[in-house]
Amino acid sequence: MAISDVNRKGSYYQVLDQNGKKIKEVHESSIGQLLDFSGDFIVGRKGSYYATYDENFKKIKETHESSIGEFRNATGSTMTFQKGSYIGTYDRDFKKISERHV
């Protein structure tokens, strides 16, 4: 099922499908700060760790910020991070796809 939207309702995050139907709801303490989402996954930050989640808020993968730098955005099946003067593109398992100098 594709992620259409992620809403914050009080202290909870809700994942909605394309019909606006709630797929899953979790307390913000479960994932920390919601950073971004795409149709495929959700990105959260808790302390110094970034994590990706599926539409049911099941954790896909987690990595420390020192490994990949600062989060920029998520789109489609990828996300980008900036570390120093490099921007890296990663999949939802934090596997590096490409990197470029900025």
Ordered domains of the chain (ranges, CATH)? 33-101 (2.40.10.480)
3-state secondary structure of 66: helix
The pLDDT value recorded for residue 21 is 96
Contacts of 11 (CB under 8 A, 6+ apart): 27, 28, 29
| pLDDT digits 0-9 by tens, 68-96 | 999 999 999 999 999 999 999 999 999 99
pLDDT band at 52 (very low <50, low <70, confident <90, very high): very high
Report how far apart, in Å, the C-alpha atoms of 70 and of each of 1, 2, 38, 48 are. 29, 26, 18, 10
Which own/partner contact pairs does 27-36 have at CB distance under 8 Å and 24+ positions apart?
Answer: 30/57, 31/57, 34/6, 34/8, 35/71, 35/74, 36/71, 36/73, 36/74, 36/79
The pLDDT value recorded for residue 33 is 97
Q: Supply the pTM of this predicted model.
A: 0.94
Query: Residue 50 and residue 34: Cα distance in Å, rounded?
Result: 10
